[in-house]
Amino acid sequence: MSKVLTSRVDRLLSSLGYGSRNDVARMGRAGGITLDGAALRDVTSRIPVTSDLPARMTVRGEPLDPLAGLVILMNKPLGVTCSHKEDGALVYDLLPQRWRARTPTISTIGRLDRQTSGLLLLTDDGDLLHRIISPKHHVTKTYRATLVRPLDGTEAALFASGAFMLQNEDKPLAPADLQVISDTEALLSVTEGRYHQVRRMFAATGNHVAALHREALGGLSLPDDIAPGQWKVLNAQDIALIFQGDDDPASVM
């Protein structure tokens, strides 16, 4: 049987961004924390940290935030940056402000350019992050690219060749799959995450990407009901979809 972790309430809430341990102690004394419907005033007490805690604990009348180990799916809008510290609008601004004070920190799993929209994952789980971005697991990233010029029909074979080189790189790109939708629109699935990869691939063919939107990561697609700027916390089944088709047992938790 796996051992259930316990934590002091003040440590747990502080790690979830609810303030310092003193702030949490004050909140507890004022009756702002409940567990199973009863006020929890002694925040130095230890409680089991079980996955049902957000359903059993409230803080200032609201359910407890998701525990550590969360994975967020966001529909990244245009014009926001995947960075903790750059100027301007950041993807983290779209999450509850309190989540910025969480430890471990929430980070994006890979990055999308400021002018790329679509499926972006964020997590505080470093192992999962590395499993998803590691080339070993071949997690496919599927992008819808809208192009300035019509495709000339040679791109699919070139991208699939495994011999296609980008400028200033010394290793060819892994084979990528291109599905042509129309003269100026295509779905491109890549397994690597090189800098501005999709834009550079089309640029190398003499074209230019006018709009780029990520639709899927592995078997996980961006749901239709998540509007740009919206997000949701994923469950274990959603997360397993990311690794669908990967036969490495270490990829699935």
Question: Any contact of residue 60 with ligand URA (CB under 6 A)?
Answer: no
Q: How far is the CB of 142 from ligand URA (least distance, A)?
A: 11
Per DSSP, the three-state class of 93 is helix
> Which stretch, 69-77, 89-97, 160-168, 196-204, contacts ligand URA (CB under 6 A)?
196-204
Question: Any contact of residue 116 with ligand URA (CB under 6 A)?
Answer: yes
Question: Any contact of residue 112 with ligand URA (CB under 6 A)?
Answer: yes
The angle formed by the CA atoms of residues 220, 126 and 237, to the nearest 5 degrees, is: 30
* 56, amino acid identity: R
DSSP secondary structure letter of residue 66: P
Question: Any contact of residue 113 with ligand URA (CB under 6 A)?
Answer: yes
Residue of the chain from 128, 198, 216, 222 that contacts ligand URA (CB under 6 A): 198
Per DSSP, the three-state class of 186 is strand
Question: Any contact of residue 12 with ligand URA (CB under 6 A)?
Answer: no
Torsion sign across C-alpha atoms 193, 194, 196, 201: negative
Question: Any contact of residue 196 with ligand URA (CB under 6 A)?
Answer: yes
The angle formed by the CA atoms of residues 190, 194 and 198, to the nearest 5 degrees, is: 55
Site of interaction with ligand URA (CB under 6 A): 112-113, 116, 196-199, 212
Catalytic residues: 113
